[in-house]
């Protein structure tokens, strides 16, 4: 594949090839972990490294297959329940002590099954309407959600073990373009954007960096590649911006939050931990200047806080998208 940075111009076979190489690297690297490395705390919601591995394995079974089956049946309507925080917690908790070799074997089995599915469909199926907790998308979007999620889960597992070497340029540019142009706008809350008229320039550095201009007007959010007129400018490294958006903070924060007595046994423990990590991570990033804002800063902070769903609000966002999906289907 050429040095393509437009995610829409990467074809299905090219995406599959990128994903296959990435997953083989993930498996080969993680299969060499020691027991101590598997049990270190990751930056992801206070889970251990092995819990993250269980999560990305079981997510294929309980989340993506359900949605892919619906898409293939031309029924991209939201399921009755899709609380990814609870779903992940329900899969991880009973598997906390199973042999890691069994987890790795299951990961490769599910990964091969998923890739075989994507190889078997045609390009029309690839663009079939689908649903995810961010709302309506297509089968390609489901693929990219999992690819991007696994990239950051690999980071979750390597970072606490001192093995993370940064994002791979082979796939980061196109995934960053997808994140900015499709995934980020999917979190928009039009009901909270009445009267908002703003252009925000994202100037991102590092691997996969570039410029994207977000326009919010008439309760709609669009993002186009390149630098255009703007009211607010946000500068950050690609990896830092996405990590902060996904509440990947210091592992110590997540470990501390998960062991607070008053949330022990709480069904919403993951949600509470994610909220703590979100706020501490955002403040720390601003203080460390990992995110820098220029122009109308007050407007930029208001838009980010009010006009978009955040990682820790995933359950509420999902409920909102489920309701809208069903209303649209009627």
* pLDDT above 80 for 256: no
Shared-domain flag, residues 39 and 106? yes
* pLDDT above 50 for 2: no
Lowest average pLDDT, out of 78-92, 184-198, 224-238, goes to 78-92
Shared-domain flag, residues 317 and 210? yes
* pLDDT above 70 for 152: yes
Mean pLDDT of 149-158: 96
Mean pLDDT of 201-229: 95
Shared-domain flag, residues 297 and 228? yes
Q: What is the pLDDT of residue 262?
A: 59
Lowest average pLDDT, out of 45-54, 64-73, 261-270, 305-314, goes to 261-270
Task: Answer yes or no: is 1 within a domain.
Answer: no
3-state secondary structure of 226: coil
CB 236 within 8 A of CB 207: no
Task: Answer yes or no: is 42 within a domain.
Answer: yes
Q: What is the pLDDT of residue 263?
A: 61
Q: What is the pLDDT of residue 156?
A: 96
Shared-domain flag, residues 246 and 178? no
Q: What is the pLDDT of residue 57?
A: 94
Helix or strand (DSSP H, E) at 325: helix 314-329
Q: Tokens for 6?
A: 């437009």
Shared-domain flag, residues 175 and 252? no
Domain boundary pick from 150, 183, 216 = 183
Residue 269 pLDDT level (bands cut at 50, 70, 90): confident
Mean pLDDT of 157-180: 96
Shared-domain flag, residues 11 and 80? yes
Task: Count Cα neighbours of 32 within 13 Å in the Cβ-side half-sphere.
Answer: 8
Q: What is the pLDDT of residue 3?
A: 58
Shared-domain flag, residues 200 and 251? yes
CB 234 within 8 A of CB 211: no
Between the alpha carbon of residue 109 and those of residues 26, 115, 147, 152, 236, the distances in Å are 14, 10, 16, 21, 37
The answer, as to whether pTM is greater than 0.75, is yes
User: Alpha-carbon distance 313 to 185, whole Å?
Assistant: 16
Q: Tokens for 130?
A: 């689908």
3-state secondary structure of 184: coil
Q: Which residue has the higher pLDDT, 259 or 10?
A: 10
Shared-domain flag, residues 88 and 198? no
3-state secondary structure of 245: helix
* pLDDT above 60 for 1: no
* pLDDT above 90 for 204: yes
CB 185 within 8 A of CB 179: no
CB 44 within 8 A of CB 281: no
Q: Give buried/exposed letters for 233-272 (b at 16+ CB in 10 A, else e).
A: bbbbbbbbbbbbbbbbbebebbbebbeeeebeeeeebbbb
Alpha helices in 121-231 (DSSP H): 123-126, 139-158, 169-178
CB 223 within 8 A of CB 212: yes
* pLDDT above 80 for 330: no
User: Alpha-carbon distance 57 to 108, whole Å?
Assistant: 8
Mean pLDDT of 210-239: 96
Beta strands in the chain (DSSP E): 129-132, 135-138, 198-205, 210-217, 220-225, 232-237, 291-295
Give residue-wise pLDDT tens across range 26-69.
Answer: 999 999 999 999 999 999 988 999 999 999 999 889 999 999 99
User: Alpha-carbon distance 43 to 253, whole Å?
Assistant: 8
Say if strands 291-295 and 232-237 run parallel, antiparallel, or are unpaired: antiparallel
Structural domain boundaries enclosing 140? 7-183
Domain boundary pick from 183, 208, 237 = 183
Shared-domain flag, residues 105 and 214? no
User: Alpha-carbon distance 319 to 197, whole Å?
Assistant: 27
Q: What is the CATH number of the domain that holds 312?
A: 3.30.1050.10
Q: Contacts from 123-130 at CB under 8 Å and sequence distance 24+? A: 123/11, 123/12, 125/72, 126/12, 128/71, 128/72, 128/74, 128/76, 129/71, 129/74, 129/76, 130/67, 130/68, 130/70, 130/71, 130/76
Shared-domain flag, residues 207 and 178? no
Lowest average pLDDT, out of 6-10, 67-71, 80-84, 196-200, goes to 80-84
Mean pLDDT of 81-88: 90
């Amino acid at each position: 594949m050429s040095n393509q940075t437009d995610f829409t111009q990467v074809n299905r076979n090219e995406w599959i090839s990128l994903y296959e190489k990435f997953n083989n690297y993930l498996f080969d690297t993680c299969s060499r972990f020691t027991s101590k490395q598997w049990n270190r705390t990751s930056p992801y919601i206070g889970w251990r490294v092995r819990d993250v591995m269980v999560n990305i394995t079981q997510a294929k079974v309980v989340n993506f297959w359900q949605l892919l089956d619906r898409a293939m049946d031309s029924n991209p309507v939201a399921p009755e329940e899709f609380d990814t925080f609870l779903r992940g917690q329900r899969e991880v908790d009973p598997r906390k002590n199973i042999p890691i070799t069994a987890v790795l074997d299951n990961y490769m089995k599910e990964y091969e099954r998923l890739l075989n599915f994507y190889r078997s469909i045609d390009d029309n199926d690839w663009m079939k309407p689908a649903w995810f907790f961010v709302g309506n998308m297509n089968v390609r979007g489901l693929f990219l959600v999992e690819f991007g999620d696994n990239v950051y889960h690999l980071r979750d597992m390597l970072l606490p073990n001192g093995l993370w070497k940064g994002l791979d340029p082979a796939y980061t540019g196109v995934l960053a373009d997808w994140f900015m142009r499709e995934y980020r706008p999917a979190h928009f809350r039009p009901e909270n954007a009445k009267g908002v008229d703003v252009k925000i320039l994202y100037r991102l550095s590092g691997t996969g960096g570039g410029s994207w201009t977000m326009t919010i007007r008439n309760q709609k959010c669009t993002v186009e590649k390149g630098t255009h007129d703007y009211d607010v400018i946000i500068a950050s490294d690609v990896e830092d911006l996405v990590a902060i958006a996904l509440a990947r903070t210091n592992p110590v924060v997540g470990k501390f939050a998960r062991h607070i007595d008053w949330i022990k046994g709480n069904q919403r423990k993951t949600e509470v931990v994610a909220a703590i990590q979100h706020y501490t991570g955002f403040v720390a990033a601003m203080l460390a200047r990992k995110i820098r804002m220029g122009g109308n800063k007050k407007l930029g902070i208001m838009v980010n806080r009010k006009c978009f769903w955040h990682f820790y609000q995933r359950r509420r966002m999902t409920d909102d998208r489920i309701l809208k999906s069903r209303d649209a289907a009627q």
